[in-house]
Structure 1
Amino acid sequence: MPFQSENSPVPIPPPGEDELPYDDGEPMESERHRAQMDMLIEVLKLFWHDRDDVYVAGNMAIYFSELQAKKNDFRGPDVFVVLDTNRRERKSWVVWQEDGRTPDVVIELLSESTEAVDRGEKMRVYAKLLHVPEYYLFDPFSSALEAYALDPATRSYAPVPPEANGDVVSACLGLRLGVRRGTYLGREAGWLRWLDAQGRVLPTAEEQARAASDEAKRLAARLAEYEKRFGPLPGSGSG
C-alpha cells in the first residue's frame, strides 16, 4: 500500500533507503561489543569474498513496514546475513526495496542495557514480522551463547541445544558458531567465531596475514636448510 501525504490525498511511493534514517540510534555498549561485531562481519565477508549473492552487515536499520517507517520505529541488528540477494553498498535494509527479502540470520550482542529488548521486543519482531530463521544471542563478556530456530507454524523461537563442545550449527549458512579464546585488535578474550563445517575457525584478515607470513618464513627456512646441505638451487642467484 503506497504512502499518503498529509497535505494531499494522492498516494505517493513509500520512502527508500535514501530518504530513511540509516543509523539505528543505538551506539555499541563497549569497545568489546564493537570489536566483536566487526570481527563477525569481517570474517564472513572474507570467507565469501567471491560471492555476490550474500549480504552481511550490522548495526544498520531494517525497515519492514510503511507504518514502522512513518513512526521512525526500526530495529538495527548487531549482525545480520541475507542470502539470495545482491551484494552492494546500502544505507539501510528496506524490505520493500529488496523484493521482500529479510535476514536469514541475526546475532545480537547482549549487554545490561539491551538484554531485555533483545529477549523481548526484538525477538518478537524477528520471529513474527521478519520471520528470521535463526537468532543468536551472545554476551561478549561472559561468552554465553544462545541459539534459536524459528518454528514457522507458531512464528516463535525454540532454543537450539549446543553440541558437546558448546558450538552451534547454522543450518542456513552451512557454518558453525563457537567461542574461541584469542586476540583481536590487541584484545585477548573469548570471541564468538565463525567456524566451517569441520569446526575450523574462519580467520580474520590479521590471522590470514600472520599465517601467510609464518608460511613464508617456514619455506625460507626449508630453502636455507636445503642449500646448506646441497648447495644453491639452479637459477636461485645464491652462492
Structure 2
Amino acid sequence: MPEAALPIAAEQETVAARGVYTDAERELLRQLQLPEEDGVPLESHYHALQQQLLAEVIHQHFKGRTDYFCGTNMFVYYSLEQAQGITDFVEGKRESAPYKGPDLLVVVGVDGTKRRKHWVVWDEDDRFPDLLVEITSPSTKSKDTDDNLKLFAQVFRTREYFWYDEEAGEWMGYRLQGESYVPIEPNEQGWRWSEVLGAWLGVSELPYRGWRYRWLRLYDGAGRLVPTGEELAAAERERAEAERQRAEQAERRIEQERLLREQEHQRAERAERRAERERQRADAERQRAEQERQWAEAERQRAEQERLLREQAERRLAELEAELKRLRSDG
C-alpha cells in the first residue's frame, strides 16, 4: 500500500513561489467583493449528494485533526483577472465565466478551524488546493477530463486530481509529476490511492441517505470503507442491539442456571426426604423386627417355663403316685 504523504516545506515554498503579487495587485484584490456563488444550480440531486458524501467521509477519515480544509462547490480565487472575470459574470457583464472552482477541494497543512466562504489563494499564504475532485456529467466532461488537467497541473500545481462520471461508470485519478499529471493506476479492486488523503478512492453501491447510486467513496489503508455519520450511527445501533441481546442472553443464562440450581436443590431436598423416609422405614423395620424377636424370645421363655412347670408337675405327680403306692403297700 502506498504511504500517505503531506506537503513538505519545499513543496509549500514551490506553491507560494508561483503566486507572487505586487503590492498594487494585492490592494486591488482586497478591494474586490468576491462572489460566493453564481446562482447556477448543480447538475442534479445526485451531484449535490456526491459532494456531501465525499466531504463527510473525508472529515470522518481526518477526525480529530484541525490541520486541513475540505470544501465543496466552493469558488477558488487565484488571480486578479480570474476574480474580476467571475465578478463580471455574476453581475451579468459577461456571458461565460473563467474557472470558478471544483466540486470538492482539500488543502492540508492549513488552519482547519478558520471559517471560509471561498478559497482565496492570496489570503492563504498563496496556497492552492492539494487535491481536487470533479463530479462530471455530459455537459462538463470535456472540461473536467481535458481543460482541468492543464489548469490544475500548470497553474494550480495541485498534487492530485480525480474526476468521476457516475452515469458512464468511469473515473480517473492523476498525480502531479513535474509539469504534468500521470494517471494513478488502480489496484485489484479498482481503487486509486490518494497520497494527500492517505486513503483509497473507490466506487461503492451502498446507499447514502436512502439513495442508491455508484458512489465515489473512501477506503482506509486497511481496505475498510470509511463510514458516514449515518453508517456509524447504524453500526452503533447494531452494536448496542447486539450488546442488548448479549445482555439478555446472559440474563436468560443466569436465570436458567438459577432455575437449574433451584431444581437441583429441590431434587436434593426430595432425595434427602426420600432417604429420611427410607431411614425411618428401616428404623421402623428394625424396631418391628426387634419387637418380634422380643416377642419370640418371650414366647420361647414362656414355652420353656411351661415345659419346666409341666416337667416339675409330672415329677411331683410321679412322686405322689410313688408315695401313694408305698403307703398302700405299708397298710
| TM-score, normalised with respect to structure 1 | 0.87
Is 2:58 the partner of 1:32?
Answer: no
1:184 is paired with a residue whose SS is coil
Gaps of 5+ in 2: 1-21, 87-97, 257-331
**1:111 match:** 137
Match of residue 29, structure 2, among 1, 11, 14: 14
Percent identity of equivalent pairs: 34
Q: How many residues align?
A: 223
* Root-mean-square deviation (Å): 1.9
2:203 is paired with a residue whose SS is strand
How far apart in 2 are the matches of 1:149 and 1:49?
25
1:182 is paired with a residue whose SS is coil
Is 2:128 the partner of 1:84?
Answer: no
Is 2:203 the partner of 1:188?
Answer: no
How far apart in 1 are the matches of 2:141 and 2:165?
9
Is 2:72 the partner of 1:58?
Answer: yes
Report Cα offsets for 1:7-48 as digits up to 9, x if no partner: xxxx835227x8211225543211111111110001111232
| TM-score, normalised with respect to structure 2 | 0.64
Is 2:112 the partner of 1:97?
Answer: no
How far apart in 1 are the matches of 2:107 and 2:39?
22
How far apart in 2 are the matches of 1:59 and 1:98?
18
Q: How far has the Cα of 1:140 moved from its partner?
A: 2.0
Match of residue 37, structure 2, among 10, 18, 23: 23
**1:237 match:** none
- Contact 1:75 / 1:122 at 8 angstroms: preserved in 2? no
**1:205 match:** 229
Q: How far has the Cα of 1:194 moved from its partner?
A: 0.6
Which amino acid in 2 is paired with 1:36? Q
Q: Which has the higher helix share?
A: 2
How far apart in 2 are the matches of 1:26 and 1:115?
17
Show the 5 A alignment for 1:117-156. Answer: 117-152=143-178, 155-156=179-180
How far apart in 2 are the matches of 1:119 and 1:3?
36
Which structure has the larger Rg over C-alpha atoms? 2
